[in-house]
């Protein structure tokens, strides 16, 4: 008898749902942080917005278990969605996107004779990762200019893609380290990992 493909966790439907929820979740976190000054989701290690979404998915799954059990999500699938949403929240959260965005354009925007940044460190800032076009920066700070404008895209697309690639490698590196340490941490040292206990309990079938 073949194993249930849902037990693998990362299934096609999980990826499709994540493709919808991850951007929506990231937008919600950014909106709360920068429009409403609500930084709560990422001030604690266990992101409450992700727990809320996991609770919603669990409620939907309970209905599927009752009425259409063959289409219900497995525990591994729910946990995979939780991990994907948590990583997306981390990238969009406090001290991540806002610091990266300021790093991309802050040095060129705020450099002046008063602070002498051009003499202190501007020559050490990699131009491939920053935006120094004065017209583009003026449009950004003045507002009333869409990021989808061709002139804006031409300036911003390069640094954004390079930062995206760098962040992808930066976030992927710990996954490889976890694979090396998992056996020792989980099987030998029996570490409890309390931060994951609530999501694990929330994803269990009742």
179-201: pLDDT as tens digits: 888 888 888 888 877 888 888 88
Which residue is it, tokens 């990021």? 147
| Nearest-angstrom CA–CA distance, 18 and 50 | 12
Tell me the C-alpha to C-alpha distance, in Å, between residue 124 and each of 16, 54, 107, 130, 158: 42, 44, 11, 11, 19
Please count the other Cβ atoms lying within 10 Å of the Cβ belonging to residue 198.
12
For the entire predicted model, the pTM comes to: 0.74
Give the model's pLDDT for residue 161.
92
Of 206, 205, 183, 202, the C-alpha closest to 82 is 202
Give the model's pLDDT for residue 132.
85
Give the model's pLDDT for residue 1.
43
Low-confidence ranges of the chain (pLDDT < 50): 1-2
């Amino acid at each position: 008898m073949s194993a249930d493909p849902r037990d693998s966790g990362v299934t096609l439907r999980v990826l499709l749902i994540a493709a919808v929820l991850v951007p929506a979740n990231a937008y919600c976190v950014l909106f709360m942080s920068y429009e409403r000054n609500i930084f709560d989701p990422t001030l604690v290690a266990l992101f409450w917005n992700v727990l809320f979404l996991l609770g919603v998915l669990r409620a939907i799954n309970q209905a599927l278990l009752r009425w259409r059990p063959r289409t219900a999500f497995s525990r591994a699938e729910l946990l995979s969605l939780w991990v994907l949403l948590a990583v997306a929240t981390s990238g969009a959260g406090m001290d991540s996107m806002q610091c990266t965005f300021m790093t991309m354009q802050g040095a060129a925007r705020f450099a002046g004779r008063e602070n002498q940044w051009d003499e202190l460190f501007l020559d050490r800032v990699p131009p491939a990762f920053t935006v120094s076009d004065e017209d583009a920066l003026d449009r950004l700070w003045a507002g009333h200019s869409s990021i989808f404008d061709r002139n804006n895209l031409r300036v911003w697309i390069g640094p954004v893609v390079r930062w995206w690639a760098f962040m992808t490698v930066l976030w992927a590196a710990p996954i490889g380290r976890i694979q090396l340490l998992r056996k020792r941490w989980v099987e030998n040292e029996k570490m409890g990992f309390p931060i994951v206990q609530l999501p694990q309990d929330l994803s269990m079938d009742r």
